[in-house]
Structure 1
Amino acid sequence: MDIKIKNVNKEEWDRFEVFCKKSNRSRSEMLKEFIRDAGKFEAVLETELRMKAIIDDVIAHLDLNTQAYLLNVKKGILPMIDTEEENSHEVFNQP
Structure 2
Amino acid sequence: MSIDKRAANATARKWAEKVIEQSDRADKAEARLASTEADILRLKAALEPFGRWSAMLEGEFADYSDDTIVARISGTMVTFGDFRRAARSLSQDGEEGL
- TM-score of the superposed pair, with normalisation by structure 1: 0.45
Higher RCO (C-alpha under 8 Å, 6+ residues apart): 2
Structure number with the higher helix fraction is 2
Structure number with the higher strand fraction is 2
